[in-house]
Amino acid sequence: MDLTLKIWRQASVDVDGKMVDYSISDVSPDMSFLEMMDMHNEQLINKGDDPVAFDHDCREGICGMCSMFINGEAHGPDRLVTTCQLHMRKFKDGDTIVIEPFRANAFPVIKDLAVDRSAFDRIQQAGGFVSVNTSGNTQDANAIPIDKHNADKAFDAATCIGCGACVASCKNASAMLFVSAKVSQYALLPQGKVEATDRVLNMVKQMDEEGFGNCTNTGACEVECPKGISLENIARMNSEYLYASLKG
């Protein structure tokens, strides 16, 4: 396939960026999107040009690093896949592909398509954990019965990979889907009950301090989420928050 790429180029957060047009030839439909980007970067390097910076790590849909907004959609046109799992067979010969970074005030551009998502780390550090007694007297997890329905819901919530597509897709740049997944995975399990009140209050406080917007129930986050995280988690987080506020 021969393609035109329109890629956002920005040297750093301090300077303005712009879209730059490139042509690329002989792209195999079997390539992943990131392999196509690698091929393009090799061509830029061979010409003495600056390669396009983009994030990636596992290339297996696990790490959540590969943030790209492709033709107006986070992680591109396929559903329930990350950019690294998107394949070029989703595009046609002669297509123009517009590639931008995940845009949100709380995700400043580092360079080109790479953005700083450390705000998610700080939200997680504010409460996305359980404190475990490591003195040797820890209760065996298997000794605590957990309702199958709740175990399944907790597992589904825990599949969030922290990619930030929900923020990038939201007109308010809200992080509610991400934070609610992290709150839910503990709220549904007995091990998460001990710190439940502090967890939800602290994580929401940190989310607001980072500058993410509010949820207005548009649902774009759920559509673009590569892991199919449900809006139901936002409802659960809101009820956890209300309960914690009244208790607190």
Binding residues for ligand FES (CB under 6 A): 56-59, 61-66, 82-84
Residue 32 or residue 180: which is nearer to ligand FES going by CB?
32
First to last CA, the chain: 60
Residue 35 or residue 232: which is nearer to ligand FES going by CB?
35
Residue 65 or residue 175: which is nearer to ligand FES going by CB?
65
Residue 3 or residue 114: which is nearer to ligand SF4 going by CB?
114
The burial class, CB within 10 Å (0-12 / 13-18 / 19+), for 224 is: buried
Distances (CA, A) of 48 to 44, 54, 71, 144, 245: 6, 18, 28, 60, 57
Q: How far is the CB of 62 from ligand SF4 (least distance, A)?
A: 11
Locate 12 and state its tokens: 């750093």
Task: Please report whether residue 165 would count as binding ligand SF4 according to CB under 6 A.
Answer: yes
Q: Which stretch binds ligand SF4 (CB under 6 A): 95-103, 104-112, 128-136, 219-227?
A: 219-227
Q: How far is the CB of 226 from ligand FES (least distance, A)?
A: 8
In the DSSP assignment, the letter for residue 225 is -
Reference 24, options 12, 35, 11, 13; nearest CA is: 35
Which entry of ligand SF4, ligand FES, none binds 62, CB below 5 to 8 A by partner kind? ligand FES
Per-residue binding letters, 24-43, with ligand SF4 (x by CB under 6 A): --------------------
Q: How far is the CB of 149 from ligand SF4 (least distance, A)?
A: 21
CB 69 within 8 A of CB 114: no
Phi-psi region of 173 (alpha: psi -120 to 50; beta: other; left: phi over 0): left
- Give the footprint of ligand SF4 on this chain (CB under 6 A): 160-166, 177-178, 181, 225-227, 229
